[in-house]
Amino acid sequence: MARFRRRGRRARPAPAVPPLLALAAVTLIVGGCSVGGGAEASRDVPAPVAALAPVSNAERSLLHDAEQTLIRHCMSRHGFTVRKVPEHPLPEQRDFPYVVDDVAWAREHGYGSELERWARALRDTDPNRRYSRSLGAERRAEAMDALHGRQRNALTVTLPSGAEVGRSDEGCTAGAEKELYADLAAWFRAEAVTQVLSGLRRSQVIADPAYTGAVRAWSACMSRRGLHHPDPAAARARFLDAPGNATPTEERRTAVAEAECALSSGLSGTAGRLSSRYGDALKAEHHSAFRERDRLQRAALPRARAIVGND
């Protein structure tokens, strides 16, 4: 598991843990453990970044599947059973980092509280969780060591947020990444840096005056519908942070209003433009990490195809 230490600015642990480092894919829960360029390069983005397109969603899923396969085989050699789980067990779940702006999705799912309940139920019935609970304390500790290695901070990297994150270079997780990406240290650095930037980008967007101005217009739109919320986070908190305090009909009504107001007030468009602008700037600033991540993933694809094909 990744671990944090402060260095310089205050650490922001929540967005800093990359999904792959948290092993979201293989949910062996032991003591809390459960995851382009166009024809010309932009003037703001160094040419090496635009020269190598990131992997597609399908290719990313292939890498995920290959890593799970390798971990499963490795744990089996240590005498433990790990089963594959879907990368996206609930494909209907979606992330709206700024505002819900899909009216059809909101009409069907509201803010997704029912999907959250389904996701919790899936986690509770996950076969790897049940298997972990069946192990004794000593055996669970052995499973943790097999999965993550004993030397938890053998590799470290300082993130753009100022936090320092560390992970082991031993165990089945590290072994799987070594086999896929060849250079574990380079992969860890590139993945850790690029993953944390999404949280940093969001912080920059919501602090931008153009965004806060668009939020005021959105809030006024909601008020005209009898829904008084200062921002989208406050609107969804009523339904996601305090489940049971409102009916599904109320949730869908509010979410649909949020999505319609996001479109009519311009909040959705403003958030999208700002997200692209800050994302491009961060990618330019940290171009070497993006270039290395894309290079390592591209090089890993043939190995991933062979691993999954032979499983």
Confidence of residue 161 (pLDDT cuts 50, 70, 90): confident
Q: What pLDDT, on the 0 to 100 scale, is given for residue 5? A: 39
Kindly indicate the confidence band of residue 311, based on its pLDDT and cuts at 50, 70 and 90.
confident
Round to whole Å and give the CA distance between 256 and 107.
6
pLDDT tens across 196-227, in order? 999 999 999 999 999 999 999 999 999 999 99
Q: Is 276 helix (H, G, I), strand (E, B) or coil?
A: helix
- The model's pLDDT over 9-60, given as tens digits with 9 standing for 90+, comes to 333 333 333 333 333 333 333 333 332 333 333 334 444 444 578 899 999 9
pLDDT at 154 (0 to 100) = 87
What is the average pLDDT value for the chain, to the nearest integer? 84
What residues have CB less than 8 Å from 231, skipping those under 6 apart? Answer: 215, 218, 219
Say if residue 132's pLDDT is above 70: yes
Residue 6 has pLDDT above 80, yes or no: no
Does residue 192 register a pLDDT over 90?
Answer: yes
State whether residue 62 is helix, strand or coil.
Answer: helix
Residue range 59-76: average pLDDT?
96
Helix pair angle (171-181, 287-309), 10° resolution:
100
Closest residue by Cα to residue 176 from 66, 82, 80 = 66
Q: DSSP 3-state assignment of 2?
A: coil
Percent of the chain with pLDDT over 90: 68
pLDDT band with cut points at 50, 70 and 90 for residue 8: very low
For residues 257 and 106, give the distance between their C-alpha atoms in angstroms, rounded to a whole number: 9
Task: Check residues 32 and 134 and name the one with the higher pLDDT.
Answer: 134
- Cβ atoms 257, 251 nearer than 8 A: no
Query: Higher pLDDT residue, 287 or 37?
Result: 287
Classify burial at 154, counting beta carbons within 10 Å of its beta carbon; exposed 0-12, middle 13-18, buried 19 or more.
Answer: middle
Percent of the chain with pLDDT over 70: 82
How many CB atoms lie under 10 A from the CB of residue 175?
A: 17
Q: What would the pLDDT profile of 90-129 be if each residue is shown by its tens digit?
A: 889 999 999 999 999 999 999 999 998 898 888 888 899 8
Task: For 241-264, write each residue's pLDDT tens digit.
Answer: 876 678 899 999 999 999 999 999
SS3 (DSSP) at 303: helix
Query: In this predicted structure, what is the pLDDT of residue 44?
Result: 41
298 confidence band (pLDDT: 50, 70, 90): very high
